Amino acid sequence: MASFKPTNIPVYPKLGEKVTQDTLYWKNYKAPVQIKEFGAITNIDFSPVTPHNFAVTAFTRIHIYGPFSQEPVKTFTRFKDTAYCGRFRSDGQLLVAGCEDSVVRLFDVGGKVALRMFRGHTKAVHVTDFTSDRYQILTGSDDYTCRLWDIPNATELNVYQEHTDYIRCGITSKLNRDLFITGSYDHTLKVFDARVDKSVMSMDHGQPIESLLLYPSEGLLVSAGGRYVKVWDLLKGGQPLVSLRNHHKTVTCLALSSNGQRLLSASLDRHVKVYSTTNYKVVHNFDYAASILSLALAPDDESIVVGMTNSILSIKHRKSPEESREISGQQRRRPSYRVFVKGKNYVPKQDDYLVSKPVKQYLAKYDKQLKKFNVSKALDCALEKWIRLRNPEVPVAVIKELDRRGTLKNALAGRDEQQLSRLLSFLIGNLVDMRFAPVLVVAAEMILDIYRSILGQSPVIDRQLLRMQDLLEREIDYQKELVEVLGMLDTMFASSLPKMEVPWISSATLLPLEVAVPSKKLNFPLEGGICI
Amino acid sequence: MVEHGDIRVVHRGGSKIDFRQPVITNDSRFLLCASGECVKVFSTSTEECIHDLQGHTDLVTGVLLRPSNHLQVYSCSIDGTVRLWDFTDGILIKTYVIGCPVYSIYASANHEGVIFIVVPMLGDKRSELFQLVAVHLPQSGDQLVESRELSAVLSNVSSNPADIAFGRGGEYIASAKGLQLKVFFFKKQKSYEFSLKEDNKKGGLNTFTCVACHPKDDCIATGHGDGKIRLWRNFNHKKEYTYSTLHWHHNAVSSLCFTPEGTNLLSGGVESVLVQWRYNQESQRDFLPRLGAAITHIAVSPDGALFCTSHSDNKITIIQSCVKVSAVIQGLVKGDVQTDLIVDPRSKALVLNGKPGHLQFYSLQRDKLLYNLDIVQQEYIHELGLEQFEVVKAAFDASGTWLATVEERKQKSAELEVNLKLWAFDEQTQSFVLNTTISAPHEARITAMCFRQATDSQTTMLVSTSKDGHFKAWQLATPAHTEGPSWSCDFVGTYHGLVPECCCFSADSSLLAVSFQEVVTVWSPTSWELLTTLSQPPGAIRDLCFGRLSCSKYLLGTTAKNLLCCWNLLTCSLEWSTSMDISLLLADPLSENMAAFCCQAGCTDLFVFKPSEPRPLFSHKAVCSGTVTRAVFAPREKMLDSCEENSQWLNRSQLHFLTQYMDLMTFTTKAEDDRLMASSKQLVIDDSVAMTPFYLLLGKHRHQQQENQDPMSSLSAERTPLPQSSVAIKELLQTPAHVLPSTSFLCSMFVQSLLISVTDLRSNHSERHYPQMEKTWNSGNQQHLFQENPDDHQMICRLHLPQLRSICT
């Protein structure tokens, strides 16, 4: 006596989302730590020296967090107004920040009071940075100017008045102490050399520029503004290399992964996108709760820190190898595991008499009904809401099984308005799915046959049938278009490929070398030739 | 059948065991069932076949325990005899010659010395009319007894044995045919007839399908075509009879049986559910569902402990007290074979369609079904007229690690459903595990499928051709995101929109030949380049085959217009062709030989040839009637060493084929037959004696005896046949001792007579000895020969000494 064979639910290949090396890498972060700040977080900067603290600029304060602490290890509060752009020097000892009140302040990381105050700008300073020789400071301001300051003397070295709008981003070269680049709301980004008084290079981004990033080699420059992220080749005189448009709101921040292979961009559309720097394709995507203003990656990608407009700071730490293994093990383990396993791991001793219990076959609800030949109930079980929505392949498999048994018509017939409308809504949702269409079309035809007589009696059913009709018409148009495209592609392939190599693509005019010459004709002795 | 040299066509195992109702013996230890021309005795506990009762010369149509002696059994056959056997020892006791074909046999304990048989109506043997006759078995000591005294009991009965049954205490006999039930009372010598209307109100069929009588009560149960069971009572009155109806089955009831005490009624049908009805409480029923295939017969052991059901898939199930299946005796499933015959390279088992949706693995060596592999993996719905998935193609790769199957289901209105499944062999469970399912691999029916043969290549490749005009290559690939390797499509090829029919890889897998109607295209499977096309119009290509080993440069094809062509692939030209209507062409994987089954005038001829020369090595006329479409070369376990030209082709592998009537046949040589006979004598199965203390005592004794016998029997099995022509030996052994001359005189003559056998032995010697002997033979003088080669002389004498001993004793 064989046991009942349950309905075979086919596993369909997942369309679209694929598990790549990148998704594995970027998904290997713990659940984020969220910290509430006082206002929108405009800038995050990691200290270049261990333990890689990071400075978070939000409203009138700059908090410095340690790599694992959730409380700030240090706070700078001596700002009269909103602070901007708190950045570490390359030795991690000094921190510079601009302010809404146009004063640039320089702090010792250990102290509280500003070491130096640079006054000279007339409007809010949004950009501050140290040059690579560590003795000068670059600032950019809403008064359209950018300035260089000397730290020891606290004097202004130079003023550049080339931009015609707010300067909201700037960056200094890590390799050359005289080079720095600024981006402005006048759509241009300019490369300055401190040894001359004018910009040496100017590029047009086409949108107000929000963020700048230099590659470690400093041959390539990335700018973000509007919805665009653009990559420029500095060694070719500022030639645009790529323009990426993957966000649907303004891109606010850029970052580079530790090995320089991946570029990250954060945007007001609440997404962080990860690009491969070889082909500039999006390889991964993070979602956040609010519009993102700032983004930073710890060295070695140990953590991803994101600041948002709702003043929430989100810190994701990378899982350690043990943790990532442990998690996968835990997923297999159910909460009731211990209860479940009770008495099962008992090893029988020598004198024990073992009573074997027959293995019980667990069947799904619809299979239990199918086993009893209750076809309508089986279909009802398979069409339960959570099954229908979460895995539509189950109802489809049950419909297929009923069709195979020749009882689909019985199962579909005799339903009231509510049951029928549930069935129809399932059909509307999945009828045009390529994987399910062959099965569902049969069912849909049967439903139309069975319920033809009651058309016009129920407004609900009528509305659904009209929707289905509409859906089918659209699908037919769509298929027609696809066939047209296919035809076009075929002709293109046929004309572009050399003819001899494509005998299989289409019936291209290929003459076969036919060997049809009978060389010898030899006869089997059929009639009583050999008799052994 | 034409006797043909020393090669003959024989049936190869797997005979039907579900033809007639099986019989369980009184002690419930044996099960007897009719199987082809013999009666098989199975053990109910071990499922093993203990012995065959051989003796009938035609189909056995009934088996019946002798009511007066429960250790004896009657069997009847189409050959017109009824035989009485002792089934524990497998001895034929008596043969009663009836003189006309017997279709079924009945007996009752109350009718001593009489059996009841169904024979055709006298006069015309061809007619469809049968009668039930009583035969008085004469009491005589002879083995062969003529008993032609037939007295008719009922005329116009059905030839189906289920339609006649004895009533309580043998007082009456009930017979049903069509819409009529007849009951004959022996005491009154009177018969009553009860008729039913053709259709009932709901349109069900009222025809009788089977009859059973209650053993303790006057009640007859009848099964009907619409699935109803009627219980007839009060049938000794013409008018006042009554019947009640039980209905559970939705198709015809094929078998009914009361338990010995009459407490339960068992019924079965195509639903493959054994239903147990309580007698007089018919609303209570027990079910034993999913028995595998439609139930054809039900039998109950005399003590009521065991039930057994035989099923349409050549299976007998033994059930203990209606709850537990205790044993399953499974024969070769015979049905509509749609796959080719294939040999599993790993187990050397023959693989073909088995139960619906299964592939069966049948061991040719042991004549036993190894297992059924569930291909479709769906609950089989036992219902008539339902379109089910069927396995239509199967293929193994060279090492047996991969199995590819195609299943399809054709509905009248809907599209064809095709699934291609690939199975990997799992070492741990020693069976095939599903790896990949490709639904709708092609848009139309798959016409052929083959694996790339090369054993050393890392990638296995499968090529399938379909009616949609494409052929596809499938390859094992390891996608990054899934857990294991799975199969995916590698290449799709077409040729001028023609329909590909067959495909074949060359022996070294460097070439793929695909036939598109009249054109054979040759492709390189590595680069998928079309290398060349070959064609021999008119007539579409029917079969394609590459030569093996030294003939691997040849490609053979048969066309629908009666042509066998052989192309040389080095020159790309036709090497030879001949006009034959070949229904099947296949290559022996272990040698260069090819076999062609050629259909001519209603029967099939076989030709075996090498592709290099268009001359048959062997031909056999009229192998069987009808066309042969499935055949296979199965490798032998042990190579034969026949040197004769016409039997050499059977040395490495054996050719099996399926006839039109799905009989599995094979070719055997004479030497093989002899060896089989010798080995079967050695085989003593001692399952029949119970383990009593007496047995232990006796068994020990007998065991010793057997050990003593063993060296003798093994010798006789090995020994070379005596030179039959030797007159001297005959004379020496057959003349009485007192008239013989003196031994010293006879000795030299006797030794010389043995020496002559050197000429026969010559062929058995190895090649090394052969020229030496030939040389000396030419010198003409025998004495001289043996003086020169004293070693040979000694050897021959030693060879014959055991024979001598055995002859003399």
Q: Give the per-residue pLDDT at B327.
A: 84
- Which residues of B375-445 form beta strands (DSSP E)? 390-396, 402-409, 417-426, 431-439
Tell how strand B500-505 and strand B512-516 pair up: antiparallel
Neighbours of A169 (CB within 10 A): 28
Q: Is the pLDDT of residue B602 over 80?
A: no
- Quick check: A97 and A86 in contact, CB under 8 A? yes
Our CA-based measurement puts residue B452 at a distance from the nearest CA of chain A, in whole angstroms, of 21
Our CA-based measurement puts residue B51 at a distance from the nearest CA of chain A, in whole angstroms, of 27
B519 contact residues in A (CB cutoff 8 A): 512, 514
Neighbours of A512 (CB within 10 A): 16
* Contact flag B492-A504 (C-beta cutoff 8 Å): yes
Q: Give the per-residue pLDDT at A98.
A: 93
In chain A, the residue whose alpha carbon lies closest to the alpha carbon of B606 is: A526
Our CA-based measurement puts residue B648 at a distance from the nearest CA of chain A, in whole angstroms, of 13
* Out of A404, A514, A532, closest to residue B646 by CB: A532
Tens of pLDDT, residue by residue over B241-257, are 888 999 999 888 999 99
A438 contact residues in B (CB cutoff 8 A): 415
* Out of A18, A403, A518, closest to residue B481 by CB: A18
- Across B413-422, average pLDDT: 82
Tell me if chain A has a CB within 8 Å of the CB of B537. yes
| Cα(B603)–Cα(B628) distance, integer angstroms | 9
Our CA-based measurement puts residue B518 at a distance from the nearest CA of chain A, in whole angstroms, of 11
Tell me if chain A has a CB within 8 Å of the CB of B562. no
- Across B391-407, average pLDDT: 89
* Contact flag B379-A514 (C-beta cutoff 8 Å): no
| Cα(B319)–Cα(B323) distance, integer angstroms | 7
Tell how strand B91-97 and strand B573-579 pair up: unpaired
Our CA-based measurement puts residue A142 at a distance from the nearest CA of chain B, in whole angstroms, of 50
Q: Give the per-residue pLDDT at B716.
A: 42
- Across B631-643, average pLDDT: 81
- Quick check: A206 and A226 in contact, CB under 8 A? yes
B5 contact residues in A (CB cutoff 8 A): 532
Mutate to test the interface with B, among A24, A445, A515 (most CBs of B within 10 A): A515
Our CA-based measurement puts residue A135 at a distance from the nearest CA of chain B, in whole angstroms, of 51
Phi and psi based region of residue A59 (left: phi greater than 0; alpha: psi -120 to 50; beta: remaining): left
Mutate to test the interface with A, among B271, B481, B496 (most CBs of A within 10 A): B481
Tell me if chain A has a CB within 8 Å of the CB of B539. no
What 8-state DSSP symbol labels residue A168? E
Q: Give the per-residue pLDDT at B743.
A: 76
* Contact flag A515-B5 (C-beta cutoff 8 Å): no
Confidence label for B702 from pLDDT (cuts 50, 70 and 90): low
* Contact flag A518-B577 (C-beta cutoff 8 Å): yes
Residue from B164, B276, B155 nearest B220 by CA:
B164
Q: Give the per-residue pLDDT at A214.
A: 92
- Secondary structure element (H or E) that encloses residue A420, with its range: helix A417-430
Q: Give the per-residue pLDDT at A358.
A: 77
* Out of A4, A7, A512, closest to residue B519 by CB: A512
* Contact flag A532-B5 (C-beta cutoff 8 Å): yes
A515 contact residues in B (CB cutoff 8 A): 532-535, 567, 572-574
C-alpha distances out from residue B566 to A268, B314, B505, Å: 74, 42, 16
- Of A98-112, B64-78, B191-205, B579-593, the one with minimum mean pLDDT is B191-205
Q: Give the per-residue pLDDT at B265.
A: 92
Q: Is the pLDDT of residue B755 over 50?
A: yes
Tens of pLDDT, residue by residue over B275-308, are 999 988 888 888 888 888 889 999 999 888 889 9
* Out of B291, B379, B573, closest to residue A519 by CB: B573
Q: Return the bridge partners of A282, or none.
A: A275
Burial class (CB in 10 A: 0-12, 13-18, 19+), B676: exposed
Q: Give the per-residue pLDDT at B697.
A: 61
A531 contact residues in B (CB cutoff 8 A): 619, 621
Please name the amino acid found at residue A430: N
| Cα(B480)–Cα(B280) distance, integer angstroms | 67
Tell me if chain B has a CB within 8 Å of the CB of A354. no
- Secondary structure element (H or E) that encloses residue B797, with its range: helix B790-808
- CA angle (B180, B183, B189) in 5-degree steps: 135
Tell me if chain B has a CB within 8 Å of the CB of A20. yes
Q: For chains A and B, what is the number of CB pairs under 8 angstroms?
A: 121
Tell me if chain A has a CB within 8 Å of the CB of B437. yes
In chain A, the residue whose alpha carbon lies closest to the alpha carbon of B609 is: A524
Q: Give the per-residue pLDDT at B625.
A: 78
Residue from B653, B100, B707 nearest B364 by CA:
B653
A4 contact residues in B (CB cutoff 8 A): 290, 379
A403 contact residues in B (CB cutoff 8 A): 414
Query: Of residues B714 and B541, which shows the higher confidence score?
Result: B541
Mutate to test the interface with A, among B530, B604, B642 (most CBs of A within 10 A): B530
Tell me if chain B has a CB within 8 Å of the CB of A134. no
Question: Encoding tokens for residue A405?
Answer: 């048994």
> A 391-410 residues with CB below 8 A of B?
401, 403-406
A446 contact residues in B (CB cutoff 8 A): none
Q: Is the pLDDT of residue B687 over 50?
A: no
Count CA atoms within 13 Å of residue B372 on its CB side.
21
Tell me if chain B has a CB within 8 Å of the CB of A519. yes
Our CA-based measurement puts residue A88 at a distance from the nearest CA of chain B, in whole angstroms, of 42
* Structure ipTM: 0.71
- Across B347-376, average pLDDT: 84
A525 contact residues in B (CB cutoff 8 A): 616
Confidence label for B326 from pLDDT (cuts 50, 70 and 90): confident
* Contact flag B575-A3 (C-beta cutoff 8 Å): no
Our CA-based measurement puts residue A477 at a distance from the nearest CA of chain B, in whole angstroms, of 23
* Contact flag A519-B492 (C-beta cutoff 8 Å): no
Tell how strand B461-466 and strand B471-477 pair up: antiparallel
> B 570-589 residues with CB below 8 A of A?
572-580
Q: What is the DSSP string of B569-631?
A: TTTTEEEEEEE--EEEEEE-TTSS-EEEEEEETTEEEEEEEETTEEEEEEEEEEEEES---EE
Residue A328 φ/ψ, nearest 5 degrees? -65, -35
* Out of B414, B535, B621, closest to residue A442 by CB: B414
A442 contact residues in B (CB cutoff 8 A): 414
Burial class (CB in 10 A: 0-12, 13-18, 19+), B238: exposed
Tell me if chain B has a CB within 8 Å of the CB of A438. yes
- Quick check: B376 and B348 in contact, CB under 8 A? no
Mutate to test the interface with B, among A8, A440, A522, A527 (most CBs of B within 10 A): A522
Tell me if chain B has a CB within 8 Å of the CB of A507. yes
| Cα(B390)–Cα(B352) distance, integer angstroms | 12
Question: Encoding tokens for residue A29?
Answer: 């972060």
* Contact flag A10-B437 (C-beta cutoff 8 Å): yes
Percentage of chain B beyond pLDDT 70 is 81
pLDDT tens across the length of chain A (532 residues) = 567 888 888 877 666 666 778 888 888 898 899 999 989 999 999 998 888 899 999 989 999 999 888 889 999 988 889 999 999 998 989 999 999 998 999 999 988 888 999 999 999 999 999 998 889 999 999 999 999 999 998 899 999 999 999 999 999 998 988 999 999 999 999 999 989 888 899 999 999 999 999 998 888 999 999 999 999 999 988 899 999 999 999 999 999 988 888 999 999 999 999 999 888 999 999 999 999 999 999 988 889 999 999 999 999 998 888 777 665 555 555 556 666 666 677 777 888 887 777 778 788 899 999 988 899 999 999 998 888 888 888 999 999 899 888 889 999 998 888 999 999 999 998 988 888 888 899 899 999 999 988 888 889 999 999 999 999 999 999 999 999 999 999 898 888 776 554 444 333 333 333 322 233 333 333 333 333 3
Tell me if chain B has a CB within 8 Å of the CB of A355. no
Our CA-based measurement puts residue A514 at a distance from the nearest CA of chain B, in whole angstroms, of 6
| Cα(B544)–Cα(A91) distance, integer angstroms | 79
Query: Of residues B685 and B13, which shows the higher confidence score?
Result: B13
The helix/strand/coil state of A54 is: strand
- Across B72-94, average pLDDT: 89
In chain A, the residue whose alpha carbon lies closest to the alpha carbon of B599 is: A526
C-alpha distances out from residue A24 to A17, A386, A394, B479, Å: 12, 29, 29, 15
